Amino acid sequence: MGIKIKNGGKMVDYKELDKNIILWSLILFILAIIIGILSSKIGALISTFGTIGIIFWYLLIAFTSVYIIWSFLFWIVGLISIKARENYKFKLMVKSGTAIVFTIMVIFSMSMPICAGGNCGGRNTTPLKNANQLLRNQIDNPGAESCTDVVTFQKDISLVAQGITKDTGLDYSQVYFDNPEGIPNFDVSNHSVLKYTETSKKNVTMCIICDDGKTGLQEAAIQNGINTTIDSNIEGETLCLVYPKKAV
């Protein structure tokens, strides 16, 4: 029978409470593992629940794994110490406290890359913003290839000419999308839209070459080892080739 201690006018059975937490921790831990296995086999199933679902999955793993590990350690200690075995309140405080602290640490560690992706005061890793910034630089750097840092594409993210040329001084017709490396699941529509169609995330770098019209850009692409044919009518104006490249 568990130790019952009066707490705020109520009797708390710490042993029973601890047993319930262990039981639910085991159930939820197994559930989280199953979700993790399914996500790797079905193309990041968890990502379909969005950022909140991913965060919840990690927090579930963090709390339950720490609580289960502590429970096992206290069980070992209880085999050799009756006093330790019966001190249910102390064990509950240690297990829940460390599990909560570890979960908070996981939240903190996850917040840094999440903020990075959302530009929370740090470097952003969104394809559109990075490509837009690179395009501004490449306008004044004709003939040279330059690429962004690694950016992450998720399902149905698209780069559109109207979006990437915002505040660059270029007309959307002066951007030419292509996929010269043939990276799977990157579809190009009319060379004005680049869309990622896979369910799982994909890390790539976005590269840009700009030059004077179709002829100049075609020559610049060849000089940079890019195997593509520029199918555009623009001559005498800046034309920029925008394409994904496999991340190293």
Per-residue model confidence as pLDDT tens digits over 184-207? 999 999 999 999 998 888 999 999
Instruction: Work out the pLDDT band at 52, boundaries 50, 70, 90.
Output: low
Contact predicate 67/25, CB 8 Å = yes
> Is residue 161 classed exposed, middle or buried when 0-12, 13-18 and 19+ CB atoms within 10 A define those classes?
buried
Give the residue, 2 or 125, on which the prediction is more confident.
125
pLDDT tens digits, 10-35: 555 667 777 777 777 788 778 777 76
pLDDT, the chain, mean: 78
Residue 224 has pLDDT above 70, yes or no: yes
Span between the terminal Cα atoms of the chain, in Å: 60
Phi first, then psi, for residue 224 (nearest 5°) are -95, 10
pLDDT tens digits, 74-112: 777 777 766 656 677 777 788 778 877 887 777 666 555
User: Alpha-carbon distance 59 to 57, whole Å?
Assistant: 6
pTM: 0.52
Tokens of 100: 């909560």
